[in-house]
Amino acid sequence: MGSWRAASTACGNRCPFRIAVREPGRLVFRGAKPGPSVRKTLYIQLLLLTVVIGAITFVISLVAISWLPTVASEEGKRIDDIYLFTSVICIGIFALVAAVTVYAVLKFRAGPGDMEDGKPIHGHTGVEIFWTVIPTILVTVIGIWSAVVVVQNDDLPDDHRIVNVEAQQFAWSFSYIDERDGLNGMQVGELVVRVNEPVELHMRSPDVIHAFWVPEWRQKQDVVPGITTFYRITPTLEGTFPIICTELCGLGHSVMRNQVRVLSDADFDAWVADQQQAVDSGGATLGQSVFQNQGCAACHTLSAADATGAVGPDLDSVLAGQSAEEIRQSIVDPNDVISEGFAEGVMPPYGAVPEDQLDALVEYLVTEAGG
């Protein structure tokens, strides 16, 4: 207790800080309150520490590491702007809290053997108002901005393209119903769109809830049985991007993936022309196109199509001697007869394929492997 009094006597009222002096039964504070110059130094030190921590965090979080794939849609760019704004706010708050924490640990840590409790404080009304009003303003800005972006992302011109999407365990299929394409609702196994052209996907599911997500497009939409959900997008970058189901939909959820190809005007027109030619030709020619478009080659081996898939049975072997009706049944209800060595439920049913395309596929398979 002598050291407490000695500190008080040596410093006296000239000391810029209040000195705690232990007296019998109580703790007394003597000396002057911190002056303006001391408070100014404190604020400058805190500010510098906040800037340093904020700069380091900003570089690590938003510069050094690329957390997201390259944005490839007009709607995704708006979403990224909100994400960046929110991230900067979070970095600022983190830097301020971390700076105060570090400063307090360094400046006000207890000395060796000091077991006394800290001085109780009531609070600071000005600080409490600050940390209530500022976050309220920021959250309000984020909420209003997000609402505006949602409205903008749902707003498409009247002449946008429409593609029907069906999600079923565990595959995606896409039907082109736009009269401009002349494809008569042809169903294909991958999504093909034109760059910078607004597209609206009309999505349905005959079984369970799925979710359509292209990471580079940023937006995600559930596909719910019994209703039609809508996904509106304007691709801005050519390339091939993954389509991922992000809703746990069953045993094969992890393999429910596909791809979207975003093509230039010339390449998209050429692709449409190829599909139109297949539709106009009909028969086995259309059947071959359906075989490729539905992704059959990825799972099955068929020498006539240069297909070498090994997930499902070898069609050159299992279809030999089968009739057209038997082949049709294996397509629309693949679990009716399971080939030896293969599990049930791996191949999804393809009963939703348009009748003319299904007939053409069966004719193609009978010609090439059946009979």
DSSP 244-280: EE-S--STTGGG-EEEEEEE-HHHHHHHHHHHHHHHH
243, containing H or E segment: strand 239-245
pLDDT at 283: 76
Could you say which architecture CATH assigns to the domain 282-368?
Orthogonal Bundle (1.10)
Tokens at 227, concatenated? 């209703």
Separation CA 187–CA 93 (nearest Å)? 51
Segment-wise mean pLDDT, segments of 10 residues, the chain, 371 residues? 41 45 49 61 86 92 87 95 94 92 85 79 84 93 95 89 89 84 77 94 93 95 95 95 93 87 94 81 76 76 79 80 81 80 74 76 77 54
pLDDT at 267: 95
Q: Which of 339, 333, 332, 292 is nearest to 315 (CA)?
A: 339
| CATH number, span 36-110+122-154 | 1.10.287
Q: Are 63 and 223 in contact (CB under 8 A)?
A: no
Q: What single letter denotes the amino acid at residue 113?
A: G
Torsion of CA 14, 19, 22, 26, to 10 degrees: 110
Domain ranges of the chain: 1-33, 36-110+122-154, 161-277, 282-368
Q: Does domain 161-277 have CATH number 3.40.50.360?
A: no
pLDDT at 14: 42
Tokens at 257, concatenated? 């993936």
Separation CA 232–CA 212 (nearest Å)? 12
pLDDT at 4: 41
125-154 and 74-107 helices, crossing angle to 10°: 160
Instruction: Tell me the residue ranges of DSSP E strands in 24-69.
Output: 26-30
Q: Are 275 and 188 in contact (CB under 8 A)?
A: yes
56, containing H or E segment: helix 36-58
Torsion of CA 289, 291, 295, 300, to 10 degrees: -150
